Chain A
Amino acid sequence: MAQLTLGKALNAGLRQAMRDDDRVVLLGEDIGTLGGVFRITDGLLEEFGAQRVIDTPLAESGIIGTSVGLAFRGYRPVVEIQFDGFIYPAFDQIVSQVAKLHYRTQGSVKMPITIRVPWAGGIGAAEHHSESPEAYFVHTAGLRVVAVSDPQDAYRCLRQAIASDDPVLFFEPKRLYHHKGEVDLASPLADAPPLGLAKVVRRGADATVIAYGAMVRTALDAAEAAEDEGISLEVIDLRSLSPVDYETVNASVRRTGRVVVAHEASREAGVGAEIIAGITEFCFEYLESAPLRVTGHDIPYPPAKLEKFHLPDLDRILDAVDRVLDRPSSISGVKGAQL
């Protein structure tokens, strides 16, 4: 066991994946000599050389499009998009090419491309550096979408994503890059939970809080605070946004009967809406109250000084918990969800 930050765990995951399979090649801007702007690819150029750690020209569609060609030739490209907000120029290649080629060719062309995205807000960044574009990709058939929240998971999920014959959008919460945790670097990948599973990260009885990415930490903090008030929250780290592991989700909801989904991305047609629709479909008769979403607002990501008003925090999650529990709000004293 090693104590590693999430960033270092990702670095270890990349290194191991490259050692395991020489068809794994990395592409991205500044990933070579610099080791990436977040240093996630630090040291890989030295170990694997410029043929496998490719500093690309500054063109996102070009990075994904050439990865498609490499995949045609049997490689397993791992792409770093420098920041979430810069994935849009590559959108066509991702949704029209990467996502569809396997289907179009009835499986004869595989696209085992992993697209790593330093993702989401809370770090006081400049414009276009804090976006949460995951719903676009969840909405696209042919892609898998993963969001990690702790170092151990990051290490294993990244290797699983690279080993997968499907394309994976791999979202890395920037806010947690320096978050530390125990990482077992030695245990075989086969022993790790599969990529598509959700994880109950805290047991509880009164309500289920479903989160992913950095919001898992916030949800855990909220659960801690709720306990002081005698409320027992179950927290689920979704891990996989496509597919969603409804077995784990449903089992929890059937026990607690109450649900809050929390994410940073804005609300309309977001992942939270999807999950609540699923829960309503599968667990309607178990629900004690209407499930609620706690999300970023339906606004462009605000300037850094204002992001704290946009991002769900512990209080907003607790407020929603009060409402699904039909308690007076511990925050404002206002009862119930009214529209």
Chain B
Amino acid sequence: MSPITDAERDLELTERMIAPDGVRIPNPQLDGYVRGIDFPTLRDLHRDMVVLRRIDAEGVALQRQGQLGLWAPCNGQEAAQIGTARALDPQDFVFPSYRETGLMYVRGAQPGDYVRMWRGEEGAAYDPAALRIAPLQIIIGAQTLHAVGYALGIRHEGADEVAVTYFGDGATSQGDVNEAMVFASSFRAPVVFVCQNNHWAISEPVGLQSPFPLAGRAPGFGIPSLRVDGNDVLACLAAMRWALEHARSGKGPAYLEAVTYRMGPHTTADDPKRYRDDAELEKWRRLDPIARLEAHLRAAGELPQDHLDAVQAQADETARDMRAACLGMVTRPALTVFDRVYAEPHSGLERERAEYAAYLSTFEEA
């Protein structure tokens, strides 16, 4: 039995604003959402994507050099991540999966934040309150329910905020994601679901999760959805603005499927040569999100060399800082493994800590 995977048709059905050759095409549904977007703003989006790609490459390099246990690359998904993340308001709270490096970047992550978890220094990479991003989630789909619960709180308070959750195409098969949509819809929760359909869940093609466009599922839950070209940063921004506006205005949840492609391996532990062919990769290479925006800017005479130079410098500097932060990390002392298991004292754990402390002290004395 082989599943249906028709990436060609996938893209035909998506909302798009900039064609792969860089030509701006009208989109009656989304044009209204990008009226304020001028060339300097587009150049900012370009910078974001270039810097993100550099951060991602550095993550891969650090893993290859033995500095990180694992890294989940997002190469190819820059437009989907940057476009949607740049639409957020500062007060919105995000529940991501493990691949949303671009979101962390947009939210002002510190250099060490990108690697702390993958290096194995701490369970969460950053302070969730500081970035307004919940810890990276490894359990597929679990975070979507957290976003809905958070959104119930927002609604309870009548606050002007939206909860947002990111997940992959594979996650759409999980019970939690489907339960999240039921809860969101039934309670009209101000939550936006962002599915990055990068066509693969490790080795499983999207057709195995669904032979039907994923965005088509949401309306069945009573949730309006949009299917957007995930390699078109402008369309991603516009669509996310639509989704956020919908949720913020009290109309309940919205769902976005960004149709994109994971160019590299699933993680640094994966070998995509075993399951996908070069022709597919080549096809998507021609749809590269950064090249597309560059083509658009260049055609308009809006891609000056000094911008490119400045972006390159910023990317290099960010990668340098990230590497320095990674190499400079000091692993916490042994007994801290017992810290913060509980918020309040727990006699069993305290006994265990004391036992281990006594054991360790025999080495120190020796």
Contact = CB atoms under 8 A, between A and B. Distances in A.
Interface of A: 25, 51, 54, 56-57, 59, 61-62, 64-75, 77, 89, 92-93, 96-97, 100-110, 112, 141-142, 144, 164-166, 196, 242-247
B179 A59 contact: yes
A196 B152 CA distance: 32
B340 A72 contact: no
Contacts of B149: 65-73, 77
Given A96-B142, A106-B122, A109-B128, A69 B344 contact: no
Interface stretch (B254-262, B289-297, B322-330, B345-353): B345-353
B236 interface: no
B182 interface: yes
Given A100-B123, A105-B123, A166 B145 contact: no
Contact of A61 (B134, B163, B179): B179
B340 A196 contact: no
Interface in B124-174: 124, 127-129, 134-135, 139, 142, 144-154, 156, 163
Contacts of B152: 54, 66, 69-70
A59 B176 CA distance: 9
Given A56-B183, A69-B150, A69-B152, A110 B128 contact: no
Given A65-B148, A65-B180, A165-B343, A243 B135 contact: no
Given A62-B176, A62-B183, A104-B124, A69 B340 contact: no
Prevailing SS type, chain B contact patch: helix
Given A165-B344, A243-B348, A247-B347, 12 more contacts: A62-B176, A66-B152, A68-B145, A68-B146, A74-B153, A93-B176, A104-B122, A105-B128, A142-B341, A164-B343, A243-B346, A246-B347
Contacts of B151: 69
Contacts of A93: 142, 145, 176
Given A106-B124, A142-B341, A243-B349, A57 B186 contact: yes
Contacts of A106: 122-124, 339-340
B contact residues, range: 35 or more
Interface in B98-123: 122-123
Contacts of A25: 156
Contacts of A244: 347-348
Contacts, number: 151
Contacts of B148: 62, 65-66, 69
Interface of B: 93, 95, 122-124, 127-129, 134-135, 139, 142, 144-154, 156, 163, 175-176, 179-180, 182-183, 186, 339-344, 346-349, 351
B153 A70 contact: yes
A102 B348 contact: no
Given A69-B152, A141-B341, A245-B347, A62 B128 contact: no
Nearest to A100: B123
B349 A72 contact: no
Contacts of A92: 139, 142, 176
Contacts of A243: 346-349
A62 B123 contact: no
Nearest to A278: B348
A54 to B, nearest CB: 8
Contacts of A105: 123-124, 127-128, 135, 340
A61 B123 contact: no
Contact of B146 (A72, A74, A246, A247): A72
